[in-house]
A and B are shown apart, each in its own frame.
Chain A
Amino acid sequence: DTAVSQTPKYLVTQMGNDKSIKCEQNLGHDTMYWYKQDSKKFLKIMFSYNNKELIINETVPNRFSPKSPDKAHLNLHINSLELGDSAVYFCASRGLAAREQYFGPGTRLTVT
């Protein structure tokens, strides 16, 4: 009965590879987010989708491309991975009338 789930939990890959992280929420929420948490625990929003439409697109390299096939899923594809992409990536969701966000468990990406 996990509310927001992410796969994989850990991802170790080499520079230059392309990888994807998947997120699913079963809360019926309309809005989903991707955040990046760096080694100093600073959490920064990357993207947000509302009902499959991109609504927030922060200053993120265009190697990062989110995709929302339906409002319950938001995936993150990263091309040409770089060392600086190593971080924990969190997916979150939010209901239309709510203010709080529900976070997934995170995906720890390590680029070697």
Chain B
Amino acid sequence: GAVVSQHPSWVICKSGTSVKIECRSLDFQATTMFWYRQFPKQSLMLMATSNEGSKATYEQGVEKDKFLINHASLTLSTLTVTSAHPEDSSFYICSARGQGNEAFFGQGTRLTVV
């Protein structure tokens, strides 16, 4: 199946710094990408939907100025957590949807803010 690669797999950063997470579709063009966050033993919570070349659509309660999403090409979307705080520590997952029936997920990024 299609491959979606997320980088980094894990990151530890200091409180107040920014962290960028990349999501790449390796063998298909992703017109739409989704960003999720997941807390321990909870389901995936959709944060935002990004379409190539346009602004992301954020879900209610998600701060767009804190979670910056850029979808500059059909194979790359980035999520930047700005001024990270310990409560931002979570598992972040991206998903890419091409022209087919299914969405493909990255392996996730474990963010720990200390």
Do A and B pair up? The answer is no
Residues of A within 8 A of B (CB): none
- Residues of B at the A interface (CB closer than 8 Å) are none
